[in-house]
Amino acid sequence: MSENLFQRLQAGFPDDRGQTAIEQPGGRSDSYAELEAASGRLARLLGTLGVAPGDRVAVQVEKSAEALFLYLACLRAGAIYLPLNTAYTPAEIAYFLGDAEPKVFVCTPASEPALRDVAAAAGVARLLTLGQQGDGSLIEAARGLDPAAGCVAAADDDIAAILYTSGTTGRSKGAMLSHGNLASNAAALHRIWGFRPGDVLLHALPLFHVHGLFVASNTALLNGSRIILLPRFDVEEILRLLPEATVFMGVPTFYTRLLAAPGFGAGACRNVRLFVSGSAPLLTETFEAFRARSGHTILERYGMTEAGMITSNPLEGERRAGTVGLPLPEIEVRIRAEDGGAVPEGEIGVLELKGPNVFKGYWRNPEKTAEEFRPDGFFVSGDLARIDSEGYVHIVGRAKDLIISGGYNVYPKEIEQAIDALPGVQESAVIGLPHPDFGEAVGAVVIREPGSTGPDAEAVIAALRQRLAGFKVPKQVVFAERLPRNAMGKVQKKELREAYKQTFA
């Protein structure tokens, strides 16, 4: 029997396929019948383009119903879906295409001129375009094709998607997520979050990220829900549409912005039964302020690219501020020392996990994969945590040198390498600084070469904008005479964070 994720999601579609699947601003809506037909046409197109099971399809497009249909088409065709952040620059895209070697690359019509040579240099066989309004060569090529019937058979361990996650070395690694990984996570969330007939999801998250693509979309599709698909988070649109929704998922930044809106309150939330927060730590102050203002208690959960969702506060029971809740069904978590040794109960250590949600390894990187797993199969998350006496997990820090800004992961080494390559720079240290809106903002402390007068802060930022996605570019660049180091010569970033913590206060 096939274990294709699409078939598992399809089992939850409403019997009446005429019910709305995707609704977008401007009055457009697509039924579940239209979703099946559109994804079937795109699956047929992929086959005519020579895409075979296991081939990669890389996608860097704006959020739209067609983008979601393309994801489903890749599942149906047995292809490996490779979503890429829309903020990535051509230089970053060149790396991903060179590493993943996709058969097809889909980008926006506006970015095609800049990416045509990049795709050709990477050996991509076909470059197609998809616009936010459903325009572009991809849709034109699929128009008139007979929708593929059913989908390619897939086993649990067959790879459904590759999502790139940065590392402390600065080189992104492709996390391979299988049909079984994604299906188990969707089923677990559907169950523990109490999805029911009639639930409506207000979807304001990006589709290139685990949160928006797998947590939100997969779970809602498995439920046969109506998805109100917004192109981006916009406070006014959220306030207008929130009364139509029963479920809303967001990053902490979404909730701080809603709290800053005068029109937000209990009335706007009158039909919502569940607010979920993730992708970055939710401050206790935000948690309490949201409850006081709306009458709703946010459900915070914890996950990562390599494992989807790992823990969640309970739907029924105490949702504790400052914790990410309890392990999902079939997922084991434990706390260990960095060397893998035991840690006394209740003490802080590195969170490790094991379960059907855990990825199959890093694309073409068996050495790194082996480094991240213990001999007994537990994956080393890199996050510092403790587990209290009632089993609630508290994330207290990050063993890996990671910044989470507005829900996006930013690894300092990549940015430091780019700064250090600038003329006149001797070295740099990139840190996360508290920010009232983004949670953390990227900051850089730069040491100039002796005798050098440049570059200045504006020049550093301008240079980085040419090389890095906007969310990685420091919001503040300061200059210092030296970087604090310990006896082993390691830069003491904790001291830097303390010294500059008021930068965005």
Sign of CA dihedral 212, 214, 219, 220: positive
The greatest distance separating any two alpha carbons of the chain, rounded to the nearest whole angstrom, comes to: 73
Of 179, 203, 232, which residue sits at a domain end?
A: 179
- Whether the pLDDT of residue 1 is over 80: the answer is no
Q: How far apart are CA 246 and CA 237, in angstroms?
A: 16
Residue range 19-64, pLDDT digits in tens = 999 999 988 999 999 999 999 999 999 999 999 999 999 999 999 9
Residue 450 lies in a domain: yes
Residue 132 lies in a domain: yes
Averaged pLDDT for residues 70-83: 98
- Whether the pLDDT of residue 472 is over 90: the answer is yes
For the chain, what is the domain count?
2
What CATH number is attached to the domain comprising 133?
Answer: 3.40.50.12780
Joined together, the tokens standing for residue 395 give 């994330």
Q: How far apart are CA 162 and CA 81, in angstroms?
A: 6
Strands 80-83 and 104-107, how do they pair?
unpaired
Half-sphere exposure of 184 (CA within 13 A, CB side): 21
Instruction: Answer yes or no: are the C-beta atoms of 408 and 364 closer than 8 Å.
Output: no
Averaged pLDDT for residues 137-144: 97
Residue range 113-127, pLDDT digits in tens = 999 999 999 999 999
Query: Helix or strand or coil: residue 181?
Result: helix
Q: How far apart are CA 408 and CA 497, in angstroms?
A: 19
Q: How much is the pLDDT for 411?
A: 79
Q: Which residues pair with 304 in a beta bridge?
A: 308
Joined together, the tokens standing for residue 498 give 């303390």
Q: How far apart are CA 248 and CA 225, in angstroms?
A: 13
The gap from C-alpha 352 to its chain's centroid, in whole angstroms, comes to: 20
- Whether the pLDDT of residue 73 is over 80: the answer is yes
Of 147, 179, 211, which residue sits at a domain end?
A: 179
Helix (H) / strand (E) element for 302: namely: strand 299-304
Summary mean pLDDT of the chain = 94
Q: Other CB atoms closer than 10 Å to residue 164's CB: what's the count?
A: 24
Rg (CA), the chain: 23
Residue 83 lies in a domain: yes
Residue 491 lies in a domain: yes
Q: How far apart are CA 444 and CA 84, in angstroms?
A: 25
Q: How much is the pLDDT for 400?
A: 65
Residue 393 lies in a domain: no
Instruction: Answer yes or no: are the C-beta atoms of 330 and 191 closer than 8 Å.
Output: no
Q: What Å distances lie between residue 445 and 141, 201, 457, CA to CA?
A: 49, 42, 10
- Whether the pLDDT of residue 250 is over 60: the answer is yes
Joined together, the tokens standing for residue 11 give 């089992």
Q: Where does residue 17 fall: left (phi above 0), alpha (psi -120 to 50 degrees), or beta otherwise?
A: alpha
Q: How much is the pLDDT for 168?
A: 44
Residue 285 lies in a domain: no
Q: At 9, phi and psi to the nearest 5?
A: -65, -40
Instruction: Answer yes or no: are the C-beta atoms of 472 and 440 closer than 8 Å.
Output: no
Report the length, in residues, of the chain.
Answer: 505
Which residue range forms the structural domain that includes residue 107?
5-15+32-179
Instruction: Answer yes or no: are the C-beta atoms of 221 and 12 closer than 8 Å.
Output: yes
Q: What Å distances lie between residue 61 and 276, 340, 446, CA to CA?
A: 25, 41, 34
Q: How far apart are CA 327 and CA 333, in angstroms?
A: 7
Read off the pLDDT band of 237 (50, 70, 90).
very high
Residue 22 lies in a domain: no
What CATH number is attached to the domain comprising 450?
Answer: 3.30.300.30
The residue written with tokens 């730069």 in the block is 446
Q: How far apart are CA 84 and CA 207, in angstroms?
A: 9
Top pLDDT among 303 and 426 is at 303
Averaged pLDDT for residues 438-453: 92
Residue range 144-203, pLDDT digits in tens = 999 998 999 999 999 999 999 865 445 789 999 999 999 999 999 999 999 999 999 999
The amino acid sitting at 424 is: G
Residue range 279-299, pLDDT digits in tens = 888 888 899 999 999 999 999
Residue 273 lies in a domain: no
Of 149, 179, 209, which residue sits at a domain end?
A: 179
Residue range 78-105, pLDDT digits in tens = 999 999 999 999 999 999 999 999 999 9
